[in-house]
């Protein structure tokens, strides 16, 4: 077996066909690879095989353990992706700047490095902390369909405004993002921009 998902399919098939003894036999014959998948010692697998006499119970517990390992791996991957996206957003936000009443930023770079999942939100946080513009990432991911390398964007009090070419434009109104995964893009203070410009 190459990975946990393959092993899960094997165990599920054997449980469905009431061939639970095949699960025990496979685990016994492949102690090292099973132990590596579960990140335990071969002795731990051997002990489990000795302690659980009933084949059906062993198969059920093996499935439960597999699901737990897969969930943990999925969560770790998601967390890593979110952390990387947040780090990128923090970096890119440092280059955003005020232009009158709106804040301009590098949209192309944001699309390339800050988006995580269609159901997550990219949240532009105003420096006063009282206002946010929350955009569901699925809309931003779909911007790739435009196949434009001249996309620009700015944030106003209630919208994200995207522009390209001479007349292309889309405006995304803010939505409530409480309870959803978020990548925050903290907009600069007006004072900080004014000081940098002097």
Q: What is the pLDDT along the chain (198 residues), one digit of tens a residue?
A: 458 889 999 999 999 989 999 999 999 999 999 998 888 999 999 998 999 999 999 999 999 999 988 888 887 787 878 899 999 999 999 999 999 999 999 999 999 999 999 999 999 999 877 799 999 999 999 998 888 999 999 999 999 999 999 999 999 999 988 888 999 999 999 865 444 444
Question: What is d(CA 24, CA 137) in angstroms, rounded to the nearest whole number?
Answer: 45
Question: What is d(CA 101, CA 79) in angstroms, rounded to the nearest whole number?
Answer: 35
Query: Could you tell me the two tokens for 140?
Result: 């931003």
Spatial contact of 163 and 151, defined as CB atoms under 8 Å apart: yes
Spatial contact of 93 and 105, defined as CB atoms under 8 Å apart: yes
pTM: 0.65
Question: How many residues are there in the chain?
Answer: 198
Q: Are strands 182-186 and 121-125 parallel, antiparallel or unpaired?
A: parallel
Question: What is d(CA 156, CA 165) in angstroms, rounded to the nearest whole number?
Answer: 20
CB-side exposure of 76: number of CA atoms within 13 Å?
6
């Amino acid at each position: 077996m190459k990975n946990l998902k393959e092993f899960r399919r094997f165990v599920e098939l054997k449980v469905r066909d009431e061939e639970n003894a095949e699960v025990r036999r496979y685990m016994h014959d492949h102690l090292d690879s099973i132990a590596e998948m579960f990140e335990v010692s071969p002795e731990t697998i051997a002990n489990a095989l000795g302690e659980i006499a009933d084949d059906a119970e062993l198969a059920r517990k093996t499935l439960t353990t597999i699901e737990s390992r897969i969930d943990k791996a999925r969560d770790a991957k998601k967390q890593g992706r979110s952390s990387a996206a947040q780090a990128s957003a923090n970096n890119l936000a440092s280059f955003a700047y005020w232009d009158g009443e709106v804040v301009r930023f590098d949209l192309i770079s944001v699309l390339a490095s800050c988006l995580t999942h269609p159901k997550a939100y990219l949240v532009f946080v105003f420096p006063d902390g009282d206002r946010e513009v929350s955009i569901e990432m699925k809309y931003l991911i779909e911007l790739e369909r435009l196949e434009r390398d001249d996309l620009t964007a700015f944030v106003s009090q209630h919208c994200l405004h995207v522009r390209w070419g001479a007349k292309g434009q889309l405006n995304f109104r803010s939505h409530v993002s409480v309870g959803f995964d978020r990548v925050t893009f903290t907009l600069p203070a007006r004072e900080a921009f004014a000081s940098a410009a002097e």
